[in-house]
Structure 1
Amino acid sequence: MINFRAKLILSLFILIAAVLAALGIWLGQMFKSYYLATINDRLERETSLLASAVEDWGGTEAINPVVLDEWSEQMDTRLSVADNNGDLLYDSGGTDEEENAVHRDIAHRISETLNEKNYQTSLMRKMDVQYHWTPILTKTGEQEGYVIVSMRVDALDEIYGQIWAILLTSLGLSLLLIILIGTKITTRYVKPIESAAMVAIELAKGNYRARTYETPPDEMGMLSTSINILARNLQEMMQAQEVHQNRLTTLIENIESGLLLIDDRGYIVMANRSFKKMYSTGRIIKKRYYEVITQEDVIKIVEDVFMTEKNVRRQIKMTFGLEEKDIEVSGAPIIGTNDEWKGILVVYHDITEIKHLEQMRKDFVANVSHELKTPITSIKGFSETLLDGALNDPDAAKMFLEIIWKESGRMERLVADLLDLSKIEQKGLTLNLTAVPLKKLLSEVIVTLESRLEAKDIALQMNVSDHLVIQGDEYRLKQVFVNLITNAILYTPKGGQIFVDASESDQMVNVKVSDTGIGIEKAELPRIFERFYRVDKARSRDSGGTGLGLAIVKHIMEAHHGKINVESKLNEGTTFTVSFIKNLRNDFTKD
């Protein structure tokens, strides 16, 4: 492919060559016409002069060959005298027989065309000879012969050669000038154009960093500057678009809800990470929606949106692997400008946790109501019995009052635990961190629970080193161990055992509270830290438990940046392990 620079130089060369060729042809014709006209004029005068001389001599019979030979030599022409029949009476011709034959033929032609004065160019071109004749008249005015003067005109070829030599020389010089001037022109004008074209091509490919060099402030400089400004603007626009696209992509990919975009033909054109986690089916993009979505209810939602062009929202239970979730599926039509149908946006919003929290709230209200109803009913019933006359029976009155006191204490503990748990959940715990000797703390807890241990004949063994110290809030730590040991007593049959062991590692202090009680089923382990959840509801309620102890323990351990784990086997026992960070103050400083 010829570039612009070569095209420009080639065009200039062809233009100048055409001009010079036309000029050469025109000059050649002009010189030819002028030369022939000059020769014809000369031959006409010479023939007239010779004819007059022959007439003065006395006619064709008195011609003087010697004089005619001298004249022919001096005029550098061929002189001939012929009679009316075309026969040559005198001829100063040479030795070329072919040329002499042509000359004799022309003499005869003249005799046949007495009325003609000149021969056509076609005759004289044949041998490159120009002829002219004039009749010889007698004194009475009769024609008795002809004077023929001829001259070779092959000098025209030399003139043509000189003209074309000049033209070719001029063309060669012009070519050199074209190359020099064209190089300067291309350097000054074409090169910026080529550079601008290359930059435009790069911009079309998406390379917005391409720039052209800027020339001095003229038309080409304005072009280069404009292209550079355009490139900078496009680069800034693309950078802004990339930032916007990255933000949008990051938002879409990291949103917890599954997003699915379906075009107007039913093909999936976009799916975020959450949606892909739900449907681990490999490639999703450019597939039909019903090839990816396996739930008939969701397919029905998409079809309803396609048919009605309205928002559709439904809550559906969906199974992903072995897990069942509550999903709120929303389908919305995407309508462009001029009411142009673009497709559908489907949103999968996981409301399993919301449903769970809602159920927990309902359970909480039901449990609180149930827990308060029992003591209130007891207090009200025994109060009515006392008012109906039981006060007169001292033993019955004492028994009823003890029951009322016991139930009121149970209500007090329930309300206290609820208030404590509410404060922990809403405001968090404000800990008064101190160095707490672990063995001393556990000993004080065990002392407060001795009556319960003795009542059920449960043996408690503690294996804690004297040097173990944990950092934490002493009051809250007592709550933790009181609740854990109380639960162990509650769910351990008479004559059972409880073990409290402590150990340490590089970063943690671990305390285990084990029992030989009834144990917990594996399916119930994830729920034991829920409020009011009881493994054995009848036994825990009879013992005066509120069902909030483990929930409080969990929040206290989280406040201490610790962990609580549970292991249990049915009818063999349960082990709670609480782990404390040794350098808790450093951990709080990082936070």
Structure 2
Amino acid sequence: MITELTHVAPYAIGLSLPVALLGAGLLYVLRWRSLATALTVLVLTPLLATLAGVLGVTGFMFGPLLTTVVVICTAVGVVTVPVAVLLGRNVARRSVWEREAHARERAAEASRRELVAWISHDLRTPLAGIRAMAEALADGVVEEREEVCAYATHIRAETERLSAMVDDLFELSRITAGAVRLEFSAVPLLDVVNEVVAVAAPLARHRDVELRTADSDWPVVLGSDPELARVLRNLLSNAIRHTPARGSVVLSAGAEDGQAWVRVDDSCGGIPPEELERVFDVAYRGDRARRDDSAGAGLGLAIARGLVQAHHGTITAHNHGPGCRFEVRLPLAPADRGGLP
């Protein structure tokens, strides 16, 4: 037995070893290719090396041994090669998914750090003002009734500003946690717009901005009245803040393709193209807004996007005319679909 092995071993090794080395070389060459390709080579290499060794032993003469080995290697290859390809693709797909998940996690962490930095700055400013004015009142620095009333008015305004920031943070936390639960009903957009315009009108007058609604066929949408009002309120507030004096902010609405649309057009002068994709990011306010103390914490548009998505709608921004156009698309109420399913 040992004599036979000694006799046939050189033939088997002489043919199987080059095949194995060739397979190793292919694996090295294909190391930057797909994982499925590498696994396929890894599976085929021992099968081909085994077949080559058997051919060397049998002297390339077909017989029961060679036939059996060929059938076995073929059967094993038919099973293992597809498995290797599927496994490689699944692993590669999982790897891509993990990389994307890590990238999203890093982006979310960077966004959280930016949010904390901006909120810390924005909270510090009104708190410092409140503290200074409270100390002045406590120390008797101001005694005249009109001055005391003015200080009290400023303290109240800064307190309301802080309260609005806290409300925004709470709403944003609900959105990011997926805890927003809406009760849908038929909501006439005209009623929501009238309410929001009435609230935003004092700010528009203070900034000498014309605020008006266009003549439109105001549809009825399927949504939640308070959340829709907040969306439009945030969009109007953003438009008014960024529109210069004697500019205009216009609301319009309509319906098409089974959806309602609401547009807020301002006269801000436009947004740089590289910033358009980021206007809905948390705490992103742009260079001009960052120099404006009244710009808030940069949460309004992020909250608007989250609430619109909770309504199964979309919100977009692009440059239009002398400024920007923010467009919200929402599902129509069933009775307002005009026969659409």
Q: Same-fold call, TM > 0.5?
A: yes
1:255 aligns with 2:88: no
Aligned to 1:542: 294
User: Structure 2 length as normaliser, TM-score?
Assistant: 0.70
Matches within 5 A, 1:341-352: 352=103
Aligned to 1:515: 266
Distance 1:445 1:364, change over 3 A: same
1:357 aligns with 2:108: yes
Query: Does structure 2 conserve the Cα–Cα contact (< 8 Å) formed by 1:436 and 1:474?
Result: yes
1:483 aligns with 2:322: no
Distance 1:412 1:348, change over 3 A: closer
Highest RCO, 1 vs 2 (Cα 8 Å, sep ≥ 6) = 2
Matches within 5 A, 1:92-491: 200=68, 203-204=71-72, 206=74, 208=75, 239=79, 241=80, 244-257=83-96, 352-390=103-141, 392-463=143-214, 465-466=216-217, 468-491=219-242
Q: Which has the higher helix share?
A: 2
Q: 1:495 aligns with which of 206, 222, 246?
A: 246
Equivalent residues, number:
273
Amino acid at match of 1:542: S
Query: Does structure 1 conserve the Cα–Cα contact (< 8 Å) formed by 2:123 and 2:162?
Result: yes
Q: Distance in 2 between matches of 1:348 and 1:385?
A: 55
User: Structure 1 length as normaliser, TM-score?
Assistant: 0.42
Q: Distance in 2 between matches of 1:350 and 1:553?
A: 25
Question: What SS does the corresponding residue of 1:392 show, helix, strand or coil?
Answer: coil
Distance 1:348 1:550, change over 3 A: closer
Aligned to 1:58: none
Aligned to 1:567: 318
Q: Which has the higher strand share?
A: 1
Question: What SS does the corresponding residue of 2:177 show, helix, strand or coil?
Answer: helix
Work out which of the two has the higher radius of gyration on C-alpha atoms and give 1 or 2. 1
Distance 1:198 1:366, change over 3 A: closer
Unmatched 5+ stretches in structure 2: 1-61, 336-341
Query: Does structure 2 conserve the Cα–Cα contact (< 8 Å) formed by 1:437 and 1:466?
Result: no
Query: Does structure 1 conserve the Cα–Cα contact (< 8 Å) formed by 2:186 and 2:333?
Result: no
Distance 1:512 1:531, change over 3 A: same
Distance 1:467 1:496, change over 3 A: closer
Amino acid at match of 1:253: A
Query: Does structure 2 conserve the Cα–Cα contact (< 8 Å) formed by 1:490 and 1:539?
Result: no
Query: Does structure 2 conserve the Cα–Cα contact (< 8 Å) formed by 1:519 and 1:572?
Result: yes
Deviations 1:473-505, CA, capped at 9 Å, x for gaps:
111111111111111111112221122122222
Q: Distance in 2 between matches of 1:526 and 1:582?
A: 27
Query: Does structure 2 conserve the Cα–Cα contact (< 8 Å) formed by 1:437 and 1:470?
Result: yes
Q: Please provide the CA RMSD for this pair.
A: 3.2
Query: Does structure 2 conserve the Cα–Cα contact (< 8 Å) formed by 1:498 and 1:515?
Result: yes
Question: What SS does the corresponding residue of 1:512 show, helix, strand or coil?
Answer: strand
Amino acid at match of 2:155: I
